[in-house]
Chain A
């Protein structure tokens, strides 16, 4: 157990270094944008701009601002928003993230619930119509852009058939359609992973041993084979989270979900630099955390993997 906790510690440390690099790059990129944060279509009086620069500490040398931002992040304080008067970036994230989390979490669940069985079935029925159907669906899921599918679903389900209401947010009951849309790409990808994993595993000796011991087919497939076939899915957990995060930018917009993705996109068009920075850093932190979690899960699931 000692080496596992040392491994976890090392991963967390390298994750923190990654985050530090991300923060630094983001900070200096935002500073590199021509024009100040208050350059706007309607000119604001000189003294107001000066006052605002003063208030946000923009008159200090860059390295002082950078150190202040870093120490703010150490206290988990992402600073004030430039556009939402009187709001901090923390408050914006606290408002949008729970909503995104509900949609994203559901999407994660859906993609596993659809992807793993589809992969298992198409591996077991290799070459038969079930396999063909699953793989055609998987190809469509990977190739059609999510905003196209989202718009199509809205058009058909909400506008033509009137089965669902979209465009407003009412808790979990309005979360499932965006979640399903968000889950399509990862579900397709997972089903491909599980299919090839399953095909590989089913040809191995220990499966033949399990059959020879007289275990039922069900037990061999669902207990012995599946356990090893889903290992690639754990590796995919990191990219999956990233996909759901970035997918949410568009999906939330199409469905009118007031989540963090919507805030992020709005802050881009508003040129709300502190919010862009804060949300970027927040996203990166989540992703780094998920990558570490996935690697730790992997080391438990597959003892052959050497911890480094």
Chain B
């Protein structure tokens, strides 16, 4: 049957040929190298980082306060002293737009993380347990889907009252349905994989399998969904501010700044254009990054 010759150790040449030529790369390193080559996505990432830096450091280094009024410069057009001009109270618009970035970005990220948390737990349980429970849980999601999210965001805002924390909570508990659907699909795909079986054989509990083994493997898709839900939340906050349910003065998100500027748009158009431009560029950047991440994290989806 077998000869002793079959069990000889490898010669040095044989060993060399069977060794991996390149160091093994993790999934994330691989995705990053794909993302780096995507010019639109890198542009988006750069813009987002720039906006974050300006939002965090800008107001600190500015000569002006976001609520510092100076009636000598009311409604001044953009100049060297006031790059974006001034509003009707003589407040510097540049610092207000940077300060607004803090609020808009905070709304975008915090609301998205709340909806991510709810969606991952909900979709994870629904997909992992399956059966009757899955049916019921997905029925609930269907009902949520059949009413425009904006309407119950507005309803919730009316109930909890305007303010920054109500916006976080309201957006967070209104926009988790897409995340839940996506996570459920991922979990259903992954739960029959061999690594799950081996984890079960090793005696891991269901909760551990779901949250330590399955969910981390679904992270790519979760991150892609997140990149699209952050601008969605920024957008919704701007919309809410526009209909008068946003944060209240003297705080100002981009939405508040834009909606404040609309009545006097004909005379002081720059008061609208700068905050509106900031919203548009940021949302555009997130969309570019999201498209790039989708291609980078899941090459199968690439067309």
Could you list which residues of chain A lie within 8 angstroms of chain B, going by C-beta atoms? 15, 18, 21-22, 25-26, 29-30, 32-33, 139-140, 142-145, 147-148, 151-152, 154-155, 159, 196, 199, 242-243, 245-246, 249-250, 253-254, 265, 268-269, 271, 276, 280, 283-284, 287-288, 291
Find chain B residues with CB under 8 A from A140 CB. Answer: 284
A40 to B156, CA, bound (A): 20
Number of A-B contacts (CB under 8 A): 102
Contact of A268 among B158, B265, B272 (CB under 8 A): B158
User: Which of chain A's residues have a CB closer than 8 A to the CB of B148?
Assistant: 242-243, 245-246, 283, 287
| B147 in contact (CB, < 8 A) | yes
Which of B146, B159, B231, B235 interacts with A287 by CB under 8 Å? B146
- Given A145-B283, A154-B265, A284:B146 Cβ within 8 A: yes
Question: Which of B143, B151, B156, B272 has the most CB atoms of chain A within a 10 A radius of its CB?
Answer: B151
A22 touches B147 (CB 8 A): yes
**Which residues of chain A are within 8 angstroms of B265 by Cβ–Cβ distance?**
151, 154-155, 159
Q: Which residues of A contact B245 (CB under 8 A)?
A: 268
Task: List B contacts of A196 (CB < 8 A).
Answer: 303
A242 — nearest CB in chain B belongs to which residue? B148
- Find out whether the CB atom of A253 lies under 8 angstroms from the CB atom of B243: yes
The answer to whether B239 and A250 touch across the interface, beta carbons within 8 angstroms, is yes
In order of increasing CB-CB distance, the 5 nearest A-B pairs are: A242-B148, A246-B150, A148-B276, A143-B284, A144-B280
Is the beta-carbon distance between A284 and B147 smaller than 8 angstroms? yes
CB-CB < 8 A to B283: which residues of A? 143-145
Does B143 lie within 8 Å of A32, measured CB to CB? no
Interface membership of B238, Cβ < 8 A: yes
**Residues from chain A with Cβ under 8 Å of B156 in the complex:** 29
Assembled-state Cα–Cα distance A269/B245 (Å): 8
**B238 to chain A: closest residue by CB:** A145
Q: Provided the pairs A246-B148, A249-B243 are in contact, do residues A147 and B269 lie with their beta carbons within 8 angstroms?
A: no
Judged by a CB distance under 8 angstroms, whether B287 is at the interface is: yes
Q: Is A250 within 8 A of B146, CB to CB?
A: no
The listed residue (A21, A25, A250) touching B242 by CB distance below 8 A is: A250
CB of B154 within 8 Å of the partner chain: yes
Tally B residues with Cβ within 8 Å of A: 35
Asked if B155 lies at the interface with its beta carbon under 8 angstroms from chain A, I say yes
Contact of A143 among B159, B244, B269, B287 (CB under 8 A): B287
Whether B146 contacts A18 by the Cβ 8 Å rule is yes
Find out whether the CB atom of A29 lies under 8 angstroms from the CB atom of B276. no
Contact B276 A151 (CB under 8 A): yes
Chain A hits for B238, CB < 8 A: 145, 147
* B266 at interface by CB-CB < 8 Å: yes
Shortest C-beta distance, B175 to chain A (Å), equals 13
> In the complex, what residues of B have CB within 8 A of residue A145's CB?
235, 238-239, 276, 279-280, 283
In angstroms, how far is the closest chain A Cβ from the Cβ of B25? Answer: 30
Shortest Cβ gap from A126 to chain B (Å) = 11
Q: Across the interface, which residues of B come within 8 angstroms of A155, CB to CB? A: 265-266, 269, 272
> With a CB–CB cut-off of 8 A, which chain A residues contact B287?
139, 142-143
CB contact under 8 A between A265 and B243, given known A145-B276, A155-B266: yes
Interface residues of B in 199-252 (CB under 8 A from A): 231, 235, 238-239, 242-245
Other-chain residue from A22, A33, A139, A144 in contact with B158 (beta carbon distance below 8 A): A33
For A291, list chain B residues within 8 Å (CB). 146
Q: How far is the CA of A26 from the CA of B154 in the complex (A)?
A: 11
Chain B window 252-284, contacts with chain A (Cβ cutoff 8 Å), 1 for yes, 0 for no: 000000110010011001001000100110011
Report chain B residues within 8 Å CB of A243: 148
A250 x B243 contact (CB < 8 A): yes
Instruction: Please report the C-alpha to C-alpha distance between residue A29 and residue B147 in the assembled complex, in whole angstroms.
Output: 15
Q: Is the CB of A280 within 8 A of B155?
A: yes
Within 8 Å CB of A152, what residues of B? 276
- CB neighbours (8 Å) of B146 from chain A are 15, 18, 284, 287-288, 291
Contacts of A139 in B (CB 8 A): 284, 287
Is the CB–CB distance between B147 and A148 below 8 Å? no
Query: Can you list 9 residue pairs at the A/B interface with Cβ under 8 Å?
Result: A18-B143, A139-B284, A142-B287, A145-B239, A145-B280, A148-B258, A271-B158, A276-B155, A288-B146
- Is the pair B279, A148 in contact by a Cβ cutoff of 8 Å? yes
Given contacts A151-B262, A196-B303, contact A276 B158 (CB under 8 A): yes
A243 to B231, CA, bound (A): 16
Q: A147–B152 Cα gap in the complex (Å)?
A: 20
Q: Kindly state the separation between the CA atoms of A269 and B262 in the bound complex, as whole angstroms.
A: 18
Residues of A within 8 A of B276 (CB): 145, 148, 151-152
Task: Identify the closest chain B residue to A200 (Cβ).
Answer: B303
Closest residue to A288 on the B side, CB-wise?
Answer: B146
Residues of A close to B150: CB separation below 8 A: 246, 249
Segment 130-145 of B: residues with Cβ below 8 Å from A: 142-143
Nearest-neighbour CB distance to chain A for B95, whole angstroms, equals 21
The residues of B that contact A254 with a CB separation of less than 8 Å are 262
Given contacts A284-B147, A288-B146, are A147 and B158 in contact (CB under 8 A)? no
* A26 to B151 Cα, complex, angstroms: 10
Taking a contact as CB atoms under 8 Å apart, the answer to whether B244 and A265 are in contact is yes
In Å, the complex CA distance between A193 and B42 comes to: 25
Minimum Cβ distance to chain B for residue A19 (Å): 9
Instruction: List residues of chain A with CB within 8 A of the CB of B242.
Output: 147, 250, 253
A246–B235 Cα gap in the complex (Å)?
13
Residues of B within 8 A of A268 (CB): 154, 158, 243-245
